[in-house]
Every structure is written in C-alpha cells, then in structure tokens.
Amino acid sequence: MGTAFRSAHAPRRRAAYWLADGLLLAALAVAGCGMGQPRADRTDAAAGGPAPTDSRPLVIIVRVEPATLSTRPFQQPGTALHVSRRLFNALPALIDDKGQPRPQLLESLPQLNTDTWRVSPDGRMETTYRLKPDLKWHDGQPLTADDFVFSWRLYATPEFGHANQPPLHAIEDVSSSDPQTFVIRWNALYPDADTLSARDRELPPMPRHILGPALDQLATIGAEAVASHPFWSRDYVGAGPYRLDRWEPGTFIDAVRFDGHVLGPAKIGRIILRFSVDGNVVMANLLTGDAHVATDNSVGQVSEAVAKEWAPTNAGSVIRWPNAWRSTAFQHRPEIVNPRAVLDPRVRKAIAHAIDKQAVSEAVYGDVAIFADTMIWSGSEWGGALDSSIVTYPYDLRRTEALMNQAGFSKGSDGIYVGPDGRFSAEWATTEGPDNVPEVLIKADGLRRAGFDVREDVVPAAQAQDAQVRATFPAMQTSNTNMGEPAMINLVTEQIPSASNRWRGGNRGGWWTPEYDRLVNVFNRTLDRGERLQLVRQLLRVYSEELPSISLFFRAQPFAHVAALKGPAVAAPESSVPWNVHEWEFR
C-alpha cells in the first residue's frame, strides 16, 4: 500500500504518471486496509514534548510545510496556509466568520471623519490606533506601539520587496506617542486603514527586540542575513493563541497554548501540525484517529469519501469553505513565454473556450464545483459588480477554431493547430495535490482533442512554496489564490514577481496593461463604497476582455474534522475557518 507520490525532492514529472487507478479509489483502499496498523507517518501523543493535562493534543494535517509562520513573509508563499498564520499570530483586527473586522490587538478600530481617522483636502490621511493594555509576545516581552513603528520600518525597506505593496505603498510615516498609541500618516487615501489586517495587506506588529539589531546592521550584513534570521523559522515569536514549542522540519510543528493571548488562553492546550500531499495518507489517518483535522488543501477530493465513512457513526464532518479562486494564468513575460502565441489574446480566448468546466466538476469535484468567470463571487463583498458587460467564455469548440483561425492558426493533418511559428505546443503546470493532478489531466486531454499540443507538468510539493518556480512557468499554470478583491488587485504591474522584489507578488504571469493599473490605483484610493463598486465593474471588464488568465472555479476548501472537536464552522471568504481557534474545544 505505497503512496501515489515519489520523494518530495524528486524533479518535476509528467502528470500522466500520477493518475494510476484513481486517487479516490486508492484512498478508499488505504483506508480500508490496515486502519488499525501503526503507520510510519503516525504522530504519537508524546512527540514534541509533554501534553497539557486539560486536553489531548489536536493533530491537524496541512498540505505543505510552511516556509515561515509569519503572516507577512519576505517571500511570496506558493500555497495559502490559514491554520499556521492564525495559530501563531495576532493582528490589529480579527476578521470574523461574517467577514467583519473585530478589534484584536486594538482597543477599537479607527472611524472615518473622527479624530481617529482624518482625511485632508489634499488626499492625505492620518489614523490613530490605541492598543489594548499589557500585550505580550510569546517570549514574554511587551508588545508595544514601537513594534508597529518597527514593522513599518522593516517592510518599507526596499530590499525586502514589500515597499510597493499595500498598505506600505501609501504610508508616509508611522510614529508612536506612548507605548499604547501609534499614528500613521498616509500619502494617499487607503480604504483599509481602519483594520490593517486584510489578507495579504496586513501591517502586523514585528518584535523589534528580536529583529531590530539585525535591521540596524542591514548595510553591513546585507538583506539576506535579515531574511534568513532564525526568527522566521524555528525561532519564531508571535502573539497568537499558540506559541511555537518545537519544529521538526519535514515532520511536524508543535504548538502550545500561549496563556498571554490577548483574547484569553485557548481551550486546547496543544496542537500538532503535520504535512502530507497524499490523500491516501490523510484519509487513513483521519479514519484511524491518528489525525483529527485535515485542511489547507490536504484532504482534497477524498473529503467526500471521508464524510461517507464517518456518516454512519457521526464520527466527524466536512466543512466546505469557499475561500479560493482557481484559475489558469498565462505567461506574459517575453523572455520566458513559450510558445509566444499565448501573448495573443485571441489564442488565450480560444483556449478558454476549449475548457469543459462541467466535465472537470463531474470528474474531480463531485459535480458541485462553483463555476467562476472572474475572481469575484456573486455572494461576496463585490458581487454586485457582476453584470452582462463582463465577457464570459463558455465551452464552445466552434468559437475556439474561429479565434485560432483569426490568430493565423489552422489544423494540420494530425489535428493540431499550426501557426506562423509552427505547431502550438505548450506545457500546462500545476502543483502536486489530490485535486490538482486529476484536474489538469482532464483539461489537458480536452485541449489535445480540441487541437492543442499540451503537456502536463507537476510541480512537487517541496517546491510549492518556491515563489520563483511558481512565477517562471513557460506557458500556463493552474493554481489557487485568494478570491475577490485580493485577487483582483494582484493583477497590477507592481505585483509582478521578480528577482528584484524577492519574487513577491500575486501577478505570477507578469501581465500588465496601463488601464488596469490606473483603475486599481483609483480603486485603492477611493473611500466611497458605491464608487468602488463601479470601479470593480470596470476592472472586471478589462480583465475579461484581455483575459490574462482563465477563471475556472471558486473552490470550497474542505475542512474535515472529528466530532470530538467543537468550534469550527463555515466562514466568509474574507475570513478563515480557524479564525476562532482559541475558542475550539477538543476532549
């Protein structure tokens, strides 16, 4: 009963080798044989130190090992890991299950047109933040306003690649008037100035007492020395409900309750994070009780089988949280792209019309996938911007052929499109995962039948957090990103990853157009919600007409948990299921 995957350090390989007898059948087989057998990847209760006496450890499986536990790492993460960022960190505001901000480190949020949020006639702003008293870092040191001043100084340093990212790009200065109060002066209007906690746009506090000496020596030791400081990995110190106790690379992360957490001590004394990309392993561990939660893309398509196995005895349940936008990005960098034909919008649109989303939904997602034409979901914050002016690309091979003909392509004797530069031949990349591989196999097969010579390429899980690898695909890459506003504003020039910004940025395909950049700039500097809604509609029109990527699905990420765990529930896309992890109970 071996796993379907090779070593995590194996080179990229063709996805055709991965389908085998089907991931779901393999998962059922693994779960059905040897559930009572000790497994090599089983986590014992004693691993990582003594367990608290008030509850047993909660074991959570996530798909890949975090590169860091920080909410704002220097390098763009390849895979969103919501559990680790919530366990170890605290932010000015906590986004609840309704998508609404609640003060976390702050006593209250700044209010527009009051002394706490002033707007000047010239478009500048000033916001004042008051911290709750007696805040502590995990090492017991005080968390003060100076840690926010230091955070701005750290992330505004150009060498670390964040200076042009929101909200840093709009901040002129951060200062503290006393240990509990800091003030931000803005050089432009910024709508999320009240929370500083929107995903991928946070201004988190950073421990000046740990990183300050290194940053002070930046000119001497260099940026890489600061970026590789042990703080970012096995010596991480945060302010969240759990503190890092032990990190065994490639094996587990042991988190223990932080009694000084601002919202009170967590009810579960200890949480162990483990990592697996193998749906067979994840399912078997859930069904044997060796693990209690599977999330962050670790359970994938086998979640339906897990739920079915649990159903007769009510042993557990699966939450489906709509939190990700799945799309296929095209490469737009001239020095990387191959074939160059994908730089032609007509070719991109032709490929979009050749993708049978319904077939993928039926084969991979149990026919429950939520189809997406843009990154904005109708049930989300900006859903009102969707209307008939936004171009869509339904499955239509006649339209595919017409567009390819317009671009100078016709089918050769073997049925493959041939253009001015020869046969259309391209790689379609995806990352290792229980849903990703079957999905790309089905889509690539459909494109081959439509006349495109497409080869599948799977990026191993070990490289899933390598931002350079994720940004330098030659033609097409399917991946998940945050849905909604974060995905929309990621498609600007400033978000193109490169060596100069440490490969940070969500615009992995390197697409840019002046009109889209202009509209995002106006959107980011507009405070009125009605005006912002109109800007979203204009942005979606530009996106749909240029088609820098093919919008596929809104993924409802499975969160499988045993019945003994109380507290997890469906959350808004702007939040996450573990937003209230400090309130969970496990007996």
The enclosing domain of 131 has a CATH number of: 3.90.76.10
Q: 504 pLDDT band (50/70/90 cuts)?
A: confident
- One-letter identity of residue 99: G
Q: 81 pLDDT band (50/70/90 cuts)?
A: confident
The answer on 119 and 44 residing in a single domain is: no
Q: Which of 235-244, 347-356, 377-386 has the lowest mean pLDDT?
A: 377-386
Query: Pick from 76, 73, 102: which is nearest to 88 by CA?
Result: 73
Q: Is residue 475 part of a domain?
A: no
Q: How far is CA 211 from the centre of its chain?
A: 26
Tell whether the model's pLDDT for residue 557 goes beyond 90. Answer: no
The answer on 136 and 51 residing in a single domain is: no
Q: Is residue 340 part of a domain?
A: no
Q: Which of 35-39, 149-153, 399-403, 551-555 has the lowest mean pLDDT?
A: 35-39
pLDDT, residue 356, reads 97
Region 478-502: what's the mean pLDDT?
A: 91
DSSP state of 106: B
Residues of the chain with pLDDT > 90, as a percent, come to 72
- One-letter identity of residue 362: E
**418 strand-pairing partners:** 410, 423
Contact 354, 428 (CB under 8 A): no
Residue 437 CA to residue 364 CA, distance in Å, equals: 10
DSSP state of 189: -
The answer on 202 and 234 residing in a single domain is: no
Q: Residue for token digits 């095209």? A: 330
Q: Which of 9-23, 311-325, 520-534, 563-577 has the lowest mean pLDDT?
A: 9-23
Residue 198 CA to residue 451 CA, distance in Å, equals: 43
pLDDT, residue 79, reads 65
Tell whether the model's pLDDT for residue 136 goes beyond 70. Answer: yes
* More reliable by pLDDT, 9 or 407: 407
Region 233-258: what's the mean pLDDT?
A: 96
Region 513-525: what's the mean pLDDT?
A: 95
Query: Pick from 214, 174, 177, 215: which is nearest to 196 by CA?
Result: 174
For the beta sheet containing 410-411, the strands, ordered from the edge strand earlier in sequence to the opposite edge, are 410-411, 417-419, 422-423
Residue 63 CA to residue 84 CA, distance in Å, equals: 12
| Beta-strand pair 293-294/549-562 | antiparallel
Give residue-wise pLDDT tens across range 285-319. 999 999 999 999 898 768 888 999 999 999 999 99
Tell whether the model's pLDDT for residue 209 goes beyond 60. Answer: yes
CATH number of domain containing 46: 3.40.190.10
The answer on 161 and 189 residing in a single domain is: yes
Q: 30 pLDDT band (50/70/90 cuts)?
A: very low
Residue 558 CA to residue 581 CA, distance in Å, equals: 17
Residue 379 CA to residue 570 CA, distance in Å, equals: 14
Q: Is residue 449 part of a domain?
A: no
Q: 352 pLDDT band (50/70/90 cuts)?
A: very high
* More reliable by pLDDT, 27 or 571: 571
Among 184, 215, 246, residue at a domain's last position: 215
**480 strand-pairing partners:** 326
Q: Is residue 220 part of a domain?
A: yes
Tell whether the model's pLDDT for residue 235 goes beyond 50. Answer: yes
Q: Is residue 351 part of a domain?
A: no
Using only C-alpha atoms, the chain has a radius of gyration, in whole angstroms, of 24
The answer on 187 and 139 residing in a single domain is: yes
Tell whether the model's pLDDT for residue 137 goes beyond 70. Answer: yes
Q: Is residue 488 part of a domain?
A: no
Neighbours of 4 (CB within 10 A): 22
* More reliable by pLDDT, 505 or 58: 58
* Number of domains into which the chain is organized: 2
Average model confidence (pLDDT) across the chain: 88
Contact 260, 523 (CB under 8 A): no
pLDDT, residue 13, reads 40
The answer on 229 and 210 residing in a single domain is: no
Contact 151, 160 (CB under 8 A): no
pLDDT, residue 199, reads 80
Q: Is residue 299 part of a domain?
A: yes
DSSP state of 212: H
The answer on 99 and 73 residing in a single domain is: no
The answer on 162 and 223 residing in a single domain is: no
Domain that holds residue 72: 15-87+216-321+560-586
The answer on 83 and 220 residing in a single domain is: yes
Q: Residue for token digits 């097969």? A: 445
pLDDT, residue 527, reads 92
Region 238-262: what's the mean pLDDT?
A: 97
Give Cβ neighbours of residue 391 (< 8 Å, ≥ 6 apart): 541, 544, 545, 547
Q: Is residue 356 part of a domain?
A: no
Tell whether the model's pLDDT for residue 185 goes beyond 80. Answer: yes
Give residue-wise pLDDT tens across range 368-383. 788 999 999 887 889 9
Output the six-digit token pair for 469. Answer: 């690898």
pLDDT, residue 55, reads 63
The answer on 96 and 188 residing in a single domain is: yes
Contact 441, 15 (CB under 8 A): yes
| Beta-strand pair 293-294/58-62 | parallel
Give residue-wise pLDDT tens across range 210-221. 999 999 999 899
Residue 452 CA to residue 545 CA, distance in Å, equals: 22
Region 108-131: what's the mean pLDDT?
A: 96
Nearest-5° angle of CA 184, CA 189, CA 191? 90
The answer on 221 and 76 residing in a single domain is: yes
Query: Pick from 369, 355, 334, 365: which is nearest to 549 by CA?
Result: 355
pLDDT, residue 25, reads 42
Residue 491 half-sphere exposure, CB side, CA atoms within 13 Å? Answer: 30
Among 164, 180, 215, residue at a domain's last position: 215
Among 152, 183, 215, residue at a domain's last position: 215
pLDDT, residue 322, reads 84
The answer on 95 and 58 residing in a single domain is: no
- One-letter identity of residue 443: K
Which pTM was predicted?
0.72
Output the six-digit token pair for 505. Answer: 């940025």
Region 263-282: what's the mean pLDDT?
A: 95
